[in-house]
Amino acid sequence: DYQKANELYDVVISLPSHKLPKLWSITSQYYRGIIAFHLYREGEGEEWFDEGKKMLQKFEHLAKLSSTNSFQSKFLLLQAESYASSCEIINAKMVFEASIKSARD
Q: How confident is the model at residue 28 (pLDDT cuts 50, 70, 90)?
A: confident
The predicted-structure confidence for 6-27, as pLDDT tens digits, reads as follows 887 787 777 666 554 566 678 8
Cα(12)–Cα(24) distance, rounded to whole angstroms?
10
SS3 (DSSP) at 78? helix
User: How many residues are present in the chain?
Assistant: 105
pLDDT in tens, 51-70: 999 999 999 988 888 777 77
pTM of the model: 0.79
Total domains in the fold of the chain: 1
> Which residues constitute the domain of residue 20?
2-104
Can you tell me the distance from the alpha carbon of 8 to that of 78, in angstroms, rounded to the nearest whole number?
Answer: 20
